[in-house]
A and B are shown apart, each in its own frame.
Chain A
């Protein structure tokens, strides 16, 4: 019962009109990593922030920051009046309450006071997932609570055909991971996050610094090509 109530409350906050806040939160999370490499996007005037961050390189992929979605949503909401937004929001909540989408996950992570959330849109060439989320927590207990809550909401919102989702790294205390099929979420402590730097890897795919610092492999001097012997 309480799960049902909390989930409904969660879903209605998605469309309560805090679009700008949500975007600034996500921008802040992304900006903290990529500040030295950004140049500003063409954003609408009310959304200019100190460091808008999307990397625009030919084969490097833009950090997905809800920016495209917020264009239409913000402009749409400006034109609507308050009585219309109520009916709009109820019909929207009926539609979104049935599926566990990225919006639901991001808003539940914000509700859980996730620190430094980073949502990265994985390009189609990499056939792994569609969205890659990295989230920090205050303590191991916080991470575990966020992970368990995410799984709980997923189980509530999933339909019969969807597979169940497991938490990987349950016995670690610094890095937990959930694979929701289209979305992959990593819950890490800030120290672990700095050590692995997953956001850098998934935004700068081949231009990553740690990748470059791996020395190129050299064959040993006594290497003889094609020495495989057949009987």
Chain B
């Protein structure tokens, strides 16, 4: 409540980590970007339960807007960590749907691509992809992994 009339500089000083994010929102001030000399990212973990994911195919289930983002509720691996090529169970629009991980923010093996979002492709229970095209680049090392990935690679439009 009290921020409405506060001096923007004062707010920025007390909450230094908000220096970039809130400057645009405080009324009457221009965004102030404090540029670093190096890039930083948040701590990135692989995909596990309750991670929000991005559905990258053109299925209607993945693309219709919903008030909650799709979340992972189960990872089908021995440990609960999902990497590229693992199947997960998502909760989307109030229903459960299986999906295949095609990219995550966590760095993987050397010479494998790292993505800026946790990408996932919806899959039926029999392994057929729900959507028909994937616009986002798909890593080619999926081909060497053990599993049924040829169908997802067949509907992919670009490879990384």
- Residue ranges of A at the interface with B (Cβ–Cβ < 8 Å): 126-128, 132, 168-169, 171-172, 174-175, 177-179, 184, 186, 195-198, 201-202, 205-206, 208, 210-211, 214, 224, 226-231
- Verify B133–A210 contact, CB threshold 8 A: yes
Stretch at the interface among B5-13, B75-83, B147-155: B147-155
A224 CA / B20 CA spacing, docked (Å): 9
A214 CA / B42 CA spacing, docked (Å): 31
Given known A-B contacts A168-B150, A179-B143, A197-B132, A228 and B42 have beta carbons under 8 A apart: yes
- Verify A128–B159 contact, CB threshold 8 A: yes
- Verify A230–B42 contact, CB threshold 8 A: yes
Given known A-B contacts A172-B126, A179-B143, A229 and B132 have beta carbons under 8 A apart: no
Q: Nearest CB to that of A125 among chain B residues?
A: B159
> Is B68 on the interface with A (CB-CB < 8 A)?
no
How many A-B pairs have beta carbons closer than 8 Å: the answer is 77
Q: Nearest CB to that of A175 among chain B residues?
A: B128
Given known A-B contacts A169-B128, A169-B148, A214-B58, A196 and B20 have beta carbons under 8 A apart: no
Chain A residues whose C-beta falls within 8 Å of the C-beta of B58 in the assembled complex = 210, 214
> Is B112 on the interface with A (CB-CB < 8 A)?
no
A202 CA / B24 CA spacing, docked (Å): 45
Chain B residues whose C-beta falls within 8 Å of the C-beta of A174 in the assembled complex = 128
A126 CA / B135 CA spacing, docked (Å): 15
A169 CA / B132 CA spacing, docked (Å): 16
